Structure 1
């Protein structure tokens, strides 16, 4: 599909694995120069090779102001930033009563502040150029609050509020800010999590998945993990669609019981 975005520049944070890697690859397939960051140099280099010749990577930790400035300056060497996908995030299964204050701050750093730090200079540039599109990768957990992942759910909800507030700043311009809510996806980290449960219980990976969708995700209409490539294509289409601003697109497999 030709979305008419060839030759532009996109930043995909955390683009060395999972959904971020799939998004970066989809941008690259549209002829976009893609800039990704990560904290593991070997993993980052492997991802750059996998994505293609128009991908550039830099080791930059967005939990620091210095890391965000480093990524922005590196990306600007390729030209004006037309797309930013805030994909960095983490998840853990933890009991609410065991989550320390330090852990809460850690989650805000990873799931919220990383996006804020890189969006500051990028959004300012986009508004100055009257052109650009930003997407925050949230989660269905943002609206289907998960009690054993309270810190994850809350920070993902915060991303939706942040996205909409920033979109309000774009009124009357050609700049847009949206959010995207994937459901359970077959990323390496998610598969590793389920494999760990399988090993612990002495059952198969498929049995663990069946139990997960039966007990934890009974509302899912597809009853299976989503291929990251599906999200990659959908996010790029959303980023390129000038009719979408200030909205959230769901791709949760029907887990959220709502028609909107």
Structure 2
């Protein structure tokens, strides 16, 4: 299937590892030009070097949860060209008891997981509307619909991101611009693998058997009973960015293996 993404300029925040890095690779394989972003120049340069074999990659370091750095990031992107696709992927999470989360930590979650997307969308959406073409895709989470008691601030921030996406989509009515959110479920990334290694050791169980039993114990409603791959999530994002998905707007696209038991 030709997704008609060749030479499109794509920006993916928080893309030096995990799902973000996978999204970059999938776009490159479709012929797009992609801006890789991360907080540190060394991580960005490392990712650019690794992925440049797949296509044209630009690296711009910057913490988009910081208003000043976010503005510098935007200026550098505009020097490259007009953004066709913006993927707001940057996010943080932590397993922590609700009563132990401070006000400062709550604000940090909103600043990183929500306001970073607000800042970039506020800059690039008007330009997309003026050109009557463009895509914004916000990487939310199934936790935004099915809040996790061990990660309440994260869950609340992802609910806000889903709402932001729908609100921005309303601004695109009657245009060829779309805004959607993507809701991954448990996905096998480097971070998840590290967590699973620690959890399996704490339970004195082999990693393989612990992983096999994880869904039976922790996610019994999952229909696929396994972790999604980074590629599965990334390919969903790439499809939503394509002209083949031009009728999909204001949608919260689930890629969570059926964990959310609803119609």
Q: TM-score, length-normalised on structure 1?
A: 0.96
Name the SS for the 1:246 alignment partner.
Answer: coil
Counterpart CA distance in 1 for 2:251 and 2:10 is: 20
> 1:246 is matched with which residue: 245, 250, 253?
250
Is the CA contact 1:16–1:43 (under 8 Å) kept in the aligned structure 2?
yes
| 1:52-102 deviation line (CA, Å, top 9, x unaligned) | 240111111111112211222222222211100000111111111111111
Aligned length: 259
Q: Tell me, which stretches of 5 or more residues in structure 1 are unaligned? A: none
Give CA-to-partner distance per residue, 1:135-155, whole Å, 9 cap, x none: 000111111111111111111
- Give the conservation status (yes or no) of the 8 Å contact 2:7–2:31: yes
User: Where does 1:49-64 land on structure 2 (aligned, <5 Å)?
Assistant: 49-52=49-52, 53-64=55-66
User: What residue number does 2:200 align with?
Assistant: 198
**Is the counterpart of residue 19 in structure 1 residue 19 in structure 2?**
yes
Between 1:166-175 and 1:35-44, the stretch displaced more is 35-44
Report the secondary structure of 1:90's partner residue.
Answer: coil
Which segment drifts farther, 211-220 or 102-111? 211-220
Q: Give the superposition deviation at 1:173.
A: 1.2
Which structure 2 residue ranges, 5 or more long, are not aligned? none
The CA deviation at 1:50 is: 2.1
CA–CA distance in 1 between the matches of 2:249 and 2:143?
21
TM-score normalized with structure 2 length: 0.95
Find 1:115's aligned residue among 117, 132, 147.
117
Post-superposition offset of 1:43:
1.8
Offset, 1:211: 4.0
For residue 232 of structure 1, report the CA deviation from its aligned partner: 1.0
Aligned to 1:256: 260
* Matched residue SS, 2:223: coil
Q: What aligned pairs does 1:1-260 form with structure 2 within 5 A after superposition?
A: 1-52=1-52, 53-240=55-242, 241-259=245-263
Distance 1:204 1:98 in 2: 31
Contact 1:33 1:78 in 2 (8 A): no
Q: Does the 8 Å contact 1:176/1:244 carry over to 2?
A: yes
Judge conservation of contact 1:164–1:178 (CA < 8 Å) in 2.
yes
- Which has the higher mean CA deviation after the structures are superposed, 186-195 or 63-72? 63-72
Answer with 11-20 or 207-216: which moved more: 207-216
- C-alpha contact 2:11 2:36 (8 A) present in aligned 1: yes
Question: 1:231, 1:105 → 2: CA distance?
Answer: 28
- For residues 5 and 112 of structure 1, the distance between their equivalents in structure 2, rounded to whole angstroms, comes to 27
